[in-house]
Amino acid sequence: MGYIDELNSFQRWILTEPTITTSEIALWYALMHYNNTTGWKEEFNVAINVLEVSTKMTSKTILKARNRLKQLGRIDFYSRTGRQSAVYRIIPFVGNNSQQMVQQTVQQIEPLLVQQPVQQSVYIPRIEETRLLSTNTHVLVDGESPPVKEKKKATRKVFVKPTPLEIQTYVDEHNLHVDVNRFFDYYEGNGWKVGKNPMKDWKATARNWSRNSFDKGGGSNQRASFNRTAEPKQDEYADLYL
């Protein structure tokens, strides 16, 4: 018996037998394997528990499958008394009249199984770019509205009051006319406010102080109070730098 010829013939025969099940196919292949190990003896015996391991099927499924294979004319078997295993015989395709019938049927079926060339190009609708989210993580389907994007809350910069050294460094770098100690003491005393509003940018306030000094004729950053004592003067345009 030619092993490869039988396998090829069996695969062709499957095309002509639509009722055959996967269990019956698995059992036939297992029996072919054990028949091969015996040197293709006409009759050979295999225990049910061995077939269970080979096919991963239960004994009940195996008994049902072998009865069907016998009815289909692919195997023959007979049981023996006691605990003896059944004896099987593979009915070959090659040299059998059924082989010619299978080939004739396959010749009629194979053209239908060959993939035919596409008569017309397949149209794949393109998803409009406006229907895709900018993140490209979600594709909208028909009738679906895009999710509402959450508005990011503007983060307000937290004011950090400067140290006298920081003020002095900034004044020197920008050549400002600001009395650093008076500047620091004044705003330290009023809680770092410009008018009634909390200060947002001390550097802008320092620049304003310097400009105010020049606007007043280059005098010091002082102004007379009602009791004639000198006190730091605040830039009248400081509110513009909040």
What tens digit of pLDDT does each residue of 211-234 get? 887 666 655 444 433 343 444 445
Where in the sequence of the chain do the CATH 1.10.10.10 domains occur? 3-110
DSSP state string for 83-123: TPPPEEEE--STTSHHHHHHHHHHHHHHHHHSPPPPSSPPP
β 193-194/75-78 pair status: unpaired
C-alpha 204/C-alpha 75 separation (Å) is 100
What tens digit of pLDDT does each residue of 111-166 get? 555 555 544 444 445 545 445 444 455 555 555 666 677 777 777 778 888 999 99
Find the angle CA(191)-CA(192)-CA(197) to the nearest 5 degrees. 95
C-alpha 57/C-alpha 29 separation (Å) is 13
Give, in order, the Cα–Cα distances in Å from 159 to each of 3, 193, 202, 207, 210: 88, 11, 9, 17, 21
**Rounded CA Rg of the chain:** 49
Q: Which fold has domain 3-110?
A: Arc Repressor Mutant, subunit A (1.10.10)
pLDDT at 62: 95
C-alpha 180/C-alpha 173 separation (Å) is 13
What tens digit of pLDDT does each residue of 5-27 get? 899 999 999 999 889 999 999 99
C-alpha 232/C-alpha 178 separation (Å) is 10
> Quick check: helix, strand or coil at residue 224?
strand
pTM of the model: 0.42
